[in-house]
Amino acid sequence: DQQVKQNSPSLSVQEGRISILNCDYTNSMFDYFLWYKKYPAEGPTFLISISSIKDKNEDGRFTVFLNKSAKHLSLHIVPSQPGDSAVYFCAANGGSQGNLIFGKGTKLSVKP
Partner 1 sequence: ETGVTQTPRHLVMGMTNKKSLKCEQHLGHNAMYWYKQSAKKPLELMFVYNFKEQTENNSVPSRFSPECPNSSHLFLHLHTLQPEDSALYLCASSQTSGGRWEQFFGPGTRLTVL
Q: Which residues bind partner 1 (CB under 8 A)?
A: 2, 4, 32, 34, 36, 41-46, 49, 51, 89, 93-94, 97-105
Beta strands in 1-112 (DSSP E): 4-5, 10-14, 19-25, 32-38, 45-51, 56-59, 62-67, 72-77, 86-93, 100-102, 106-111
Q: What amino acid is encoded at 3 in this protein?
A: Q
Which residue, 20 or 100, has its beta carbon nearer to partner 1?
Answer: 100
> At closest approach, how far in Å is the CB of 2 from partner 1?
7
Beta bridge partners of 46: 36
Which residue, 42 or 83, has its beta carbon nearer to partner 1?
Answer: 42
> At closest approach, how far in Å is the CB of 112 from partner 1?
27
> At closest approach, how far in Å is the CB of 33 from partner 1?
9
